[in-house]
Structure 1
Amino acid sequence: MAFLEVADVRKGYGEGDAHIEVIKGVSTSLEKGDFASLLGPSGSGKSTFLNIVGGLEPCDGGRVVVDGVDITGLSDREVGEYRRAELGFVFQFYNLIPDLTVCENIEVCAHLSEDPLPLDDLLRSLGLWDQRRKFPRQMSGGQQQRCAIGRALVKNPKLLLCDEPTGALDYQTSLEILALMEEVNREYGCTVVVVTHNDAIARMSNRIMRLHDGMLVEDSVNEERVPALSLEW
């Protein structure tokens, strides 16, 4: 059984003549440890798809199965438990708590897990050991995104969902963050899905999915992955 199975998922907004279908019968699956890029232009449904997989939004039809659990059939409380136990989220904007240090921002999420990663080891892996006592306002955008990734990872999630994680970063910092995510995928074994409009990022992924107008128009395996630090755009 695939680690992530999405079957005929549909999602729309509005009622009557104002109803717009954003996700139109999408089906796909990922194996444990896959690194997948989800591409498409603005308005193609990428973020909505990610939110459905992450249990942030319900779908109107179809099912989403993660590690053998059909999350579309869970109660609100059970969905909350799923997000707490199984998922890590990384967004374009870091959403760090401004009055907490790097260490404290990450530690907050460690308390959500029954089996968190060792905080000191994670800080060193993320290159944040020397910044651990700094506040978000004292750090660069790249360092803040590293902190946001650490906050998502400290729970030791099985699935890491990233929505435009380099969208607010410059080119060189973007490469460094992508290289970090590549390392995270390899070292921690979590399945990673990255939503992006940047086609170059697909070259570092072993799975490439592309949405257009709410439909999955590409779902392919990339046999020749390029290291993140070698990407150009």
Structure 2
Amino acid sequence: MTGEVSKGRASRDVPAGPSAGYLCVRGLSKGYGQGDAHAQVLDGIAVDVLRGEVCVLFGPSGSGKSTFLNLLGGLERADAGSIDVAGQDICRLSSRELLEYRRRELGFVFQFYNLVPDLTMRENIEVNAHIADDPLDIDELLRKLGLWEHRGKFPNQVSGGQQQRCAIGRALVKKPGLLLCDEPTGALDYKTSKEILELMERVNQDYGTTMVIVTHNEAIRLMSHHILHLRDGRIASDRRNDRLVPAADLEW
């Protein structure tokens, strides 16, 4: 998909010179069950994601996408292989060290938001700010997210798109180097999905946040630096895109 830009659309160049080796995965394998019930979900995955890249991961249901994301996030343990994030192999970390990795380096955005229902939008973001060494300014972040006038509302008082913006803000307030997104637009309508993708594009540009996005929306590949396809637990294709289409111009 290198150079893949639809005819007649505006495009933007990929930012020059991201540092290599930010996320390096080698020989990553994961299975579940024993004996005849054993299922090999990931089988020898190897991939490099550059610092500051938006990497999108496609694949049919059951191909191992969510398991891969959970392993990157330190939420599950690999059976074999290594996951090097910013020079640290998280597969070798203790449970306590993994907690520190998730606090310091990682942000996670879930499809169904996972907001705390009894906390306001601002308070949901503050939860993560309290565990960060140098958090972003919450007032500034709320304004950038378009949530300033909703900051005192509870999740059930705002739209799905506004809840997803809050989930992104909660992940971003820590200034994570790596943002993992599991179907971030899967529960949203077309218009709101476009708004969320434009927000994620701005986040990548403003903060240089490396992103790995699991999605079924094929249009997102056009705004991504790096496109992976997963099939039967293996990387079926691994390509980079040298001409990015702005999120506002995506259609599906």
TM-score (norm 2): 0.91
1:150 equivalent in structure 2: 169
Q: Does residue 116 of structure 2 align to residue 97 of structure 1? A: yes
Pairwise CA distance, 1:73: 0.4
1:200 equivalent in structure 2: 219
| Inter-partner Cα distance in structure 2 for 1:225 and 1:199 | 14
User: CA offsets, 1:169-189, max 9 Å, x none?
Assistant: 001100100110000011011
1:211 equivalent in structure 2: 230
2:92 equivalent in structure 1: 73
User: CA offsets, 1:115-162, max 9 Å, x none?
Assistant: 111111111110111111111111000000000000000011000000
| Inter-partner Cα distance in structure 1 for 2:48 and 2:76 | 19
| Inter-partner Cα distance in structure 2 for 1:231 and 1:97 | 32
1:220 equivalent in structure 2: 239
2:192 equivalent in structure 1: 173
Q: What's the C-alpha RMSD, in Å, of the aligned pairs?
A: 0.7
User: CA offsets, 1:163-220, max 9 Å, x none?
Assistant: 0000000011001001100000110111011001111111110100110111101111
Q: Which runs of 5+ in 2 are unaligned?
A: 1-19
User: CA offsets, 1:75-133, max 9 Å, x none?
Assistant: 00001110111100001001111111111010011011101111111111101111111
2:208 to 189, 212, 216: 189
Q: Does residue 250 of structure 2 align to residue 231 of structure 1? A: yes
Are the equivalent residues in 2 in contact too, given 1:35–1:206 (CA < 8 A)? Answer: yes
TM-score (norm 1): 0.99
| Inter-partner Cα distance in structure 1 for 2:194 and 2:243 | 18
Q: How many residues align?
A: 233
2:35 to 3, 7, 16: 16
| Inter-partner Cα distance in structure 1 for 2:75 and 2:101 | 11
1:48 equivalent in structure 2: 67
Alignment of 1:77-88 (within 5 A): 77-88=96-107
Name the amino acid aligned to 1:38. Answer: L
| Inter-partner Cα distance in structure 2 for 1:24 and 1:119 | 41
Pairwise CA distance, 1:228: 0.8
Name the amino acid aligned to 2:246. Answer: P
| Inter-partner Cα distance in structure 1 for 2:115 and 2:69 | 20
2:137 to 75, 96, 118: 118
| Inter-partner Cα distance in structure 1 for 2:124 and 2:76 | 25
Pairwise CA distance, 1:31: 1.0
Q: What SS class does the counterpart of residue 59 from structure 1 fall into?
A: coil
| Inter-partner Cα distance in structure 1 for 2:165 and 2:217 | 20
Q: Which runs of 5+ in 1 are unaligned?
A: none
| Inter-partner Cα distance in structure 2 for 1:176 and 1:158 | 23
Identical counterparts, % of pairs: 63
Are the equivalent residues in 2 in contact too, given 1:42–1:197 (CA < 8 A)? Answer: no
Q: Does residue 127 of structure 2 align to residue 108 of structure 1? A: yes
